[in-house]
Structure 1
Amino acid sequence: MQTDLLQEARRQAEICNACRYCEGYCSVFPALHRERAFSDGDLTQLANLCHNCRGCYYACQYTAPHEFDLNLPKALAEVRQDSWKAHAWPRVFADLFDRSGVLMAAGLVLGFALIFVLAQAMQPESSEGFYAYMSHGLMVAIFAPAFLLPLAAIAVSLRGYWRTVGGGTLRLGDVWRAMRSAGRMKNLEGGHGDGCNFEDEDRFTHARRHFHQAVLYGFLLCFASTASGTLMHYLLGWEAPYGLFSLPKLLGLPGGVLLCIGTAGLAALKLKADPQLGAPAAWGGEMAFILLLFIVSATGLLLFAATGTQMVGWLLPLHLGAVLTFFLLTPYSKMAHGFYRLAALAREEATKSTRQAQSAS
């Protein structure tokens, strides 16, 4: 990881540790105030605990033009972004996505869409629904490795992160509490429960928290839709296409709507927010990820609406190209932050459990 980023984050963390004004704002400050000195691993852990709500910056009396020139959200965002790149495997793809995220995502979506258009020439002679345009076997052959290989890359990355932050053995209770915190987006509630001021220093709002929740639960519903369709196909022998009131549709349609709302909302907030309170160099890559996830959900909904029309022949390659791009870029885009943040929350819960046990004994 870059030494200059860690040194600047260490300088600011030491000043914050002496001040302690922001102690109740989020999980970062209790973790920060437990320490007297900060190793590189400590700073990496703090950076991945930070949700960049920016409340601490707007409340701070030591921001510019004060000589301390504190900007903790930016310092932690840059360490966090660098930690994802440092642990990404293979790293070269993370660097490339950071530099040219929008161009890279757009090129892959269009390139894969063109390949799927050409693949329709091999369409089966007698099938229904989407499989009338592309065979089930071809989809499985493409998407199974495209799903599993990125998961393997993320596992390698998280192993490196866990070693860096000094993570030990996790208890089931620690993981459960971390998942509850992530599900509630607890660290976006603000120090007093009024929300955060990501967009504007004078405005406390839960908008960012709610849009994040829409993305999270929309994604989980879409994943559950795909999983249920897979089980119905292979275990029960019920082949697609599925009706409106089938489990895949009942899960996938609201999931797609939530994803569209959440990603559109996050993109709008990101355009209004000050880029200098995050990692400015990563702004393009972050926006590319949000837009990619929006395209995945929007084309999926359009594809459902177009069922039975000639538009399916054009929308299906575009949707599949977007989904394939999303899968392949997951370890190197901001999608990885969900895995790292859950790991950071679990690490924090484990630390608190250990300290409570030591105090009790």
Structure 2
Amino acid sequence: MSLDTIPEARRQIEICNACRYCEGYCAVFPAITRQKAFADGDITQLANLCHNCRGCYYACQYTEPHEFALNLPRALAEVRTESWEDFAVPAPLARVFQRHGVALAGLLVLAVAVMVLLARGGGRTFYDVIPHGVLVAIFLPAFLAPLAVIGVSLRRYWRKVGGGPVRLAHVVSAARSAGRMRNLDGGQGQGCNFEKEERFSNARRAMHQAVMWGFLLCFASTLSGTVLHYLGWPAPYGPFSVPKLFGVPGGLLLTLGAVGLAALKPKGDRGLGDPAVWGGEMAFVLLLALTGGSGLLLYAVTGTGLVAPVFALHLGAVMTLFLLMPYSKMVHGFFRFAALVRDAQGR
């Protein structure tokens, strides 16, 4: 962690703990009031519990030009980013992506797509382009290895924040908060101030939910298609098959949610987040949109001569999303869920 970010976040949190005006805004403030002193691990936990809705900033009487100069969303965002980087394996790769995400993601998508096109077979379905066995041999390690890296990062995080044995009740509580995006509702359901300053909006909350549920549906589509394949029903599947009933709504939700987040992001004040990683965050959102959109397009062009190039683009997006999971903002979902579980333990 930086020598500056933790002490500055601690200074601001101690002032917030004395004021307590924002107590009902999100899970951060009730967590603050449960303590009087804050170790480095406590600051890291609060930073990952923060959803950067920014409502506390616009409600605060101690922001600039007040001498306290509070900007808690930015202070926690900087600690949060550094925690992801410090716990990542290897940490330098996380720092590179956070600061050069658009270029890195774009080059990786292009490289994978070109390799697929060079190695492709003929045909008008994606298994004609690359056989199922080859896809499994390539993508299974590319999916499992990043998950293993994330597991190591979460273990480091859990030790840092003093997490104890996890019970089912803790996981259920965290799942409820994550599923409803409760910490983006402004405390009273009116939404947050991310993109409209002092006006409340649920747009960011809705877009986050669309991305989350869209991603889960797409994963369920892939899983169900794999099961059907090994049961003797290979792709392509009809419009009313299980993979399509999961995949088409999932792709639409993922694409629309990611495009919505990309449109909202420039409307937010960069000074209320970590400006150094703005590009990396935008790259991640655009990568999600490309993954969902190219999947839908692939379904639309099945049976035509466009299958090979669209399939190559889709594989490039999916492979890049998987490989960069431990280093892109994709990892925030894992850390935030862990923070919610840790928060449930402290109640």
TM-score in terms of structure 1 length? 0.95
Alignment partners' CA distance in 1, 2:223 and 2:249: 15
Q: Do 1:63 and 1:71's aligned partners in 2 also have CA atoms closer than 8 Å?
A: yes
- Residue 79 of structure 2 corresponds to which residue in structure 1? 79
Asked if 1:205 corresponds to 2:195, the answer is no
Counterpart secondary structure, 1:244 = coil
Deviations 1:68-118 (A, max 9, x none): 000000000000011000101111210110121000000000011000001
The one-letter amino acid of 1:311's match is L
Of stretches 281-290 and 86-95 in structure 1, the one that deviates more from structure 2 is: 86-95
- Residue 4 of structure 1 corresponds to which residue in structure 2? 4
Of stretches 329-338 and 236-245 in structure 1, the one that deviates more from structure 2 is: 236-245
Deviations 1:141-180 (A, max 9, x none): 1101000000000000000000000000011011011001
- Within the candidate set 150, 156, 160, 1:154 is matched to 150
- Residue 171 of structure 2 corresponds to which residue in structure 1? 175
Counterpart secondary structure, 1:3 = coil
Offset of 1:3 from its aligned partner?
2.1
Q: Give the number of equivalent residue pairs.
A: 347
Of stretches 238-247 and 147-156 in structure 1, the one that deviates more from structure 2 is: 238-247
5+ residue gaps, structure 1? 353-361
The one-letter amino acid of 1:321's match is G
Alignment partners' CA distance in 2, 1:80 and 1:101: 17
- Residue 345 of structure 1 corresponds to which residue in structure 2? 340
Alignment partners' CA distance in 2, 1:202 and 1:351: 32
Deviations 1:306-351 (A, max 9, x none): 1111111211111101110000001100000000000000001111
The one-letter amino acid of 2:178's match is A
The one-letter amino acid of 1:323's match is V
TM-score in terms of structure 2 length? 0.98
- Residue 269 of structure 1 corresponds to which residue in structure 2? 264
Asked if 1:214 corresponds to 2:210, the answer is yes
Deviations 1:214-233 (A, max 9, x none): 00000000000001011111
Q: What CA RMSD, in Å, does the superposition of the two structures yield over aligned residues?
A: 1.0
Alignment partners' CA distance in 1, 2:211 and 2:327: 18
Q: Superposed, which structure 2 residues align to 1:16-31 within 5 Å?
A: 16-31=16-31
Asked if 1:32 corresponds to 2:28, the answer is no
The one-letter amino acid of 1:31's match is A
Q: Do 2:124 and 2:305's aligned partners in 1 also have CA atoms closer than 8 Å?
A: no
Offset of 1:128 from its aligned partner?
6.6
Offset of 1:201 from its aligned partner?
2.2
The one-letter amino acid of 1:346's match is V
Alignment partners' CA distance in 1, 2:124 and 2:116: 18
Alignment partners' CA distance in 1, 2:8 and 2:76: 9
The one-letter amino acid of 2:307's match is V
Q: Percent identity?
A: 65
Task: Provide runs of 4+ in structure 1 moved above 3 Å.
Answer: none
Q: Superposed, which structure 2 residues align to 1:248-267 within 5 Å?
A: 248-267=243-262
The one-letter amino acid of 2:301's match is A
Of stretches 186-195 and 57-66 in structure 1, the one that deviates more from structure 2 is: 186-195
- Residue 189 of structure 2 corresponds to which residue in structure 1? 193
Offset of 1:136 from its aligned partner?
1.3
Counterpart secondary structure, 1:334 = coil
Offset of 1:202 from its aligned partner?
2.3
Alignment partners' CA distance in 1, 2:29 and 2:337: 17
Q: Do 1:128 and 1:241's aligned partners in 2 also have CA atoms closer than 8 Å?
A: no
Q: Superposed, which structure 2 residues align to 1:282-293 within 5 Å?
A: 282-293=277-288
